[in-house]
Amino acid sequence: MVDPGTTVQRLMLIFYGLVNVGAFFLLATTYTEKYVGYWLAFLLPGIVYFLLPALLWYLNNKLIKYMVVL
Protein backbone atom coordinates (compact mmCIF):
# COMPACT_ATOMS: atom_id res chain seq x y z
CA MET A 1 0.00 0.00 0.00
CA VAL A 2 1.73 3.13 -1.20
CA ASP A 3 -1.01 5.72 -0.79
CA PRO A 4 -3.94 4.94 1.55
CA GLY A 5 -6.28 7.30 -0.31
CA THR A 6 -5.60 5.66 -3.66
CA THR A 7 -6.01 2.20 -2.14
CA VAL A 8 -9.38 3.07 -0.60
CA GLN A 9 -10.50 4.64 -3.88
CA ARG A 10 -9.54 1.50 -5.80
CA LEU A 11 -11.33 -0.79 -3.35
CA MET A 12 -14.48 1.31 -3.47
CA LEU A 13 -14.37 1.30 -7.28
CA ILE A 14 -14.13 -2.50 -7.29
CA PHE A 15 -16.94 -2.77 -4.72
CA TYR A 16 -19.34 -0.57 -6.72
CA GLY A 17 -18.40 -2.39 -9.91
CA LEU A 18 -19.41 -5.67 -8.29
CA VAL A 19 -22.65 -4.06 -7.10
CA ASN A 20 -23.40 -3.27 -10.76
CA VAL A 21 -22.66 -6.88 -11.72
CA GLY A 22 -25.12 -7.99 -9.03
CA ALA A 23 -27.74 -5.62 -10.44
CA PHE A 24 -27.21 -7.20 -13.86
CA PHE A 25 -27.80 -10.64 -12.34
CA LEU A 26 -31.12 -9.32 -11.02
CA LEU A 27 -32.22 -8.57 -14.57
CA ALA A 28 -30.81 -11.84 -15.90
CA THR A 29 -32.62 -13.95 -13.31
CA THR A 30 -35.89 -12.09 -13.90
CA TYR A 31 -35.83 -12.76 -17.63
CA THR A 32 -34.72 -16.38 -17.24
CA GLU A 33 -37.56 -16.95 -14.77
CA LYS A 34 -40.03 -15.48 -17.25
CA TYR A 35 -38.81 -17.21 -20.40
CA VAL A 36 -37.10 -20.42 -19.18
CA GLY A 37 -38.25 -21.26 -15.67
CA TYR A 38 -37.49 -21.00 -12.00
CA TRP A 39 -34.80 -23.68 -12.06
CA LEU A 40 -32.43 -21.53 -14.13
CA ALA A 41 -33.32 -18.37 -12.21
CA PHE A 42 -32.16 -20.05 -9.00
CA LEU A 43 -29.22 -21.81 -10.66
CA LEU A 44 -27.52 -18.60 -11.91
CA PRO A 45 -26.95 -17.02 -8.46
CA GLY A 46 -26.30 -20.49 -7.03
CA ILE A 47 -23.37 -20.98 -9.40
CA VAL A 48 -21.85 -17.70 -8.22
CA TYR A 49 -22.27 -18.64 -4.55
CA PHE A 50 -20.89 -22.14 -5.07
CA LEU A 51 -17.79 -20.77 -6.85
CA LEU A 52 -16.93 -18.36 -4.01
CA PRO A 53 -15.30 -20.97 -1.71
CA ALA A 54 -13.08 -22.12 -4.59
CA LEU A 55 -12.11 -18.51 -5.28
CA LEU A 56 -11.28 -17.91 -1.62
CA TRP A 57 -9.22 -21.11 -1.52
CA TYR A 58 -7.30 -19.98 -4.60
CA LEU A 59 -6.66 -16.49 -3.17
CA ASN A 60 -5.80 -17.74 0.34
CA ASN A 61 -2.04 -17.23 -0.07
CA LYS A 62 -2.49 -13.76 -1.59
CA LEU A 63 -4.77 -12.41 1.15
CA ILE A 64 -3.39 -10.46 4.09
CA LYS A 65 -4.93 -11.76 7.28
CA TYR A 66 -4.99 -9.84 10.56
CA MET A 67 -5.52 -11.35 13.97
CA VAL A 68 -8.07 -9.35 15.94
CA VAL A 69 -7.96 -9.83 19.70
CA LEU A 70 -10.91 -8.54 21.66
The predicted model scores a pTM of 0.55
Report yes or no on 36 lying in a domain: yes
- What residue numbers bound the domain in which 30 lies? 4-58
Q: How far apart are CA 48 and CA 41, in angstroms?
A: 12
Q: How far apart are CA 16 and CA 30, in angstroms?
A: 21
Report yes or no on 26 lying in a domain: yes
Interval 25-54: pLDDT, tens: 888 888 999 999 999 988 988 888 899 899
Report yes or no on 24 lying in a domain: yes
Q: Please, are residues 28 and 44 in contact by the beta-carbon 8 Å criterion?
A: yes
- Structural domains counted in the chain: 1
Non-local CB neighbours of 32 within 8 Å, separated by 6+ positions: 40, 41, 44
Report yes or no on 8 lying in a domain: yes
Q: Tell me what pLDDT residue 1 has.
A: 58
